[in-house]
Structure formats: structure tokens, C-alpha cells
Amino acid sequence: MRRLLLDTDTAGDDTIAILMALRARDAVLEGITINCGNVDFEQQVENALYTVQVAGRSGKVPVYPGSTHPLLKEWRTAKEVHGNDGMGGSYFPKAKQRPETTHAVDAIVDTINSNPGEIDLVEIAPMTNLAIAIRKDPGIVKKVRRFYFMGGSNQYLGNVTPAAEFNIWVDPDAARIVFESGLPATMVGWEICMRRGFLGARELDRIEAMGTGESKFFLAVNREVRRFTKRTYGLDGTECTDSLTMSMVLNPRVASDVRKKFVEVDSTDGPSRGATVVDERGVLGKKPNVDVVYEASQKLFREMLYRTLSGGPV
Ligand code: BDR
Ligand code: CA
């Protein structure tokens, strides 16, 4: 049985990644840690708790609040993408389960130390919690089984700036610490998410036709994202970045072309701040530190997503 620890800025597709992990047949979600990112911090915590409830697992999966600000930069949210509540303006009622009092950083350090070699760490948010955890106890790096993250881009295709993707851009200083730590990392960048994690009107109609609690939840939390995507990219649909990443965690065959590269984060204040600079041709001669996903199976991903939304096991 795989064992996952998930760090999230719960809004929009983060919720679907959580649902998918909670439906996994051969993985257990040990805990959820919250990092500043998409919307107001307390709202993100509530969104995670509510999602656990939607999955019928209330009280079974601890939710640990963590960093409320990036290490050095000012925090800018993505409310314009996900709506003020991060759930497409649904304003769901408060979940029954309440957050833990243990800080996310301590939860990360303790969970990894108590289960050396066992934990797959999944990051679908800015990396502040993780960077502080690594600074607090650098020994955890060698005890993580694998570190998967949604963030960055291998082709300088950003979504916040021309060069930077949101998760890295919010806290590039933290991301730099994580990239340089030696964690065995797999990167799922914005570019591959847009190419293989995008759902168009036809797919969304299919989800609507399912008529399950989960499918209604999916459409509600992604309502604002759909409007934003139309406004910004002229496309009718929603991008599933975090759930595409989770599908690769649960089924490595989803990532069909993965290449080892040296990747560096630009944490300076110039125009490419927050960019992940992938040494494509190895010109720097440095040891690769990241497995970069270049291609993914849209078919396998969608099958897993549809199974999640139909309430079945994944
Ligand atoms: C990432 O930023 C967030 O808005 C999404 O949840 C995803 O993790 C995409 O850039
Ligand atoms: Ca996210």
C-alpha cells in the first residue's frame, strides 16, 4: 500500500486531487498540509476539510494548517481564477471536522521521520511548508520515497508571468531550497497540464451527465475556472493540473515520457522570477536533479478522473 502526504492550497482542482487520492485502491492519504496559495488561508483550510467530507472521510484524514505567507515575497492569491472562496463561489457550509493544532511543517517532518522510505510527498501548492521542513530537519530528504510536484514549466510557458507558473512564482525562494535539497523529484509543469489535463465542453458535459455528488462538486468548484479560462485563453473548458499530477502519483504509467534534467529556479526579481529553468541540452554539465514529465496519457488520466467522479475506486 502506497502512503501519501499531500501539501495543498486547496481551491479548484486541488479538491479533485484530494478526492482522487481518497478513492485510491492502493494508496492511503496520511494527511493534508495547507500552504498559502490560491485564496485566503483559512478558506483553503475549510476547503480541504469540506473536500474530505465530500469523500465521506470526515474525521479520518488530518488537515494541518501551515505557512500563511511565502518566505520572503508578498503573497498574491489567484482568487480571480477560482473565485473568492476558491470553490467557484459555492460558499459551502463549514465541515464537521476541524483542523489539527500541529503545524504543517511539524506534520511533514514527523510523518516522514516516523516512516522512513515509505512516504510519497505530493506538492500541489507553493513550497513554503516543505522548504521550512527541510531547513528544520534536512535528514527528511533521504527518507522520502518520491516527491511529485505540480509546478513550473519546461518550456518557459507561465500562467502568472510569461515565464512563471503560479506555485513556483508565489514562493520562488522556497522552491529553490526544495530543488537544491536532493529530494527525488518529479515535475509536472503547467505546459503538460494544459496539453493533457485540459477538459473541454464535451468532457464537462459527460461529467454533468454522471449526476453524482462528486460530479456536481467538480462542476461547482470549477465554475469560476471555466469562466476565467474562456476570458483568458479563449478556450471553453477547465484545466486539471493537480488531479493530473495525482493521477501520475497513483499510476506512474500516466507519465509516458519522463526525462532527467537539471532544473533551477529563478528567485531573482527580474522578468523571469519564479521560472523553472530546465537545462534541456545539459549545457551546464550539472547532475540532473528532477525527473521532468514531457508527455502524459490523456486517456489514462481521464479514465481515473471519471472513476473518481463516478464515486468508484481508482
Ligand atoms: C497551480 O496553481 C493553482 O492555482 C492550482 O491549484 C495549481 O496547483 C497551477 O498553476
Ligand atoms: Ca494547487
Q: Which domain holds residue 197?
A: 2-309
Q: Is the CB of 10 under 6 A from ligand 1?
A: no
Cα–Cα distance measured from residue 77 to residue 75, given in angstroms and rounded to the nearest whole number? 6
pLDDT at residue 155 tops 90: no
Q: Is the CB of 239 under 6 A from ligand 1?
A: no
- Indicate if 242 belongs to the active site: no
- What is the domain-level CATH number for residue 302? 3.90.245.10
Cα–Cα distance measured from residue 289 to residue 99, given in angstroms and rounded to the nearest whole number? 34
pLDDT at residue 33 tops 90: yes
Mean pLDDT along residues 238-250: 98
Atom of ligand 1 nearest to the CA of 193: 9
pLDDT at residue 312 tops 90: no
Atom of ligand 1 nearest to the CA of 81: 4
Atom of ligand 1 nearest to the CA of 78: 4
- Kindly state whether residue 35 falls inside one of the protein's structural domains: yes
CA of 125 to the centre of ligand 1 (A): 7
- Kindly state whether residue 210 falls inside one of the protein's structural domains: yes
Give the confidence band of 81 by pLDDT, cuts at 50, 70, 90: very high
Residue nearest to atom 10 of ligand 1 (CA): 166
- Kindly state whether residue 314 falls inside one of the protein's structural domains: no
pLDDT at residue 157 tops 90: no
Cα–Cα distance measured from residue 152 to residue 159, given in angstroms and rounded to the nearest whole number? 9
Q: Is the CB of 240 under 6 A from ligand 1?
A: no
pLDDT score at 175: 98
Give the confidence band of 95 by pLDDT, cuts at 50, 70, 90: very high
Cell of 121: 510527498
Note whether 149 and 124 are within 8 A (CB).
yes
pLDDT score at 112: 98
| Number of domains the chain contains | 1
pLDDT score at 227: 96
CA of 9 to the centre of ligand 1 (A): 8
% residues pLDDT > 70 (the chain):
100
170-228, pLDDT tens digit by residue? 999 999 999 999 999 999 999 999 999 999 999 999 999 999 999 999 999 999 999 99
Cα–Cα distance measured from residue 130 to residue 289, given in angstroms and rounded to the nearest whole number? 17
Q: What pTM value is reported for the model?
A: 0.97
CA of 37 to the centre of ligand 1 (A): 8
Q: Is the CB of 291 under 6 A from ligand 1?
A: no
Query: Could you report how far apart the first and last alpha carbons of the chain are, in Å?
Result: 14
pLDDT score at 154: 87
Q: Is the CB of 167 under 6 A from ligand 1?
A: yes
- Kindly state whether residue 56 falls inside one of the protein's structural domains: yes
Q: How many residues does the chain have?
A: 314
CA-closest candidate to residue 14, choices 63, 72, 67: 63
DSSP 139: G
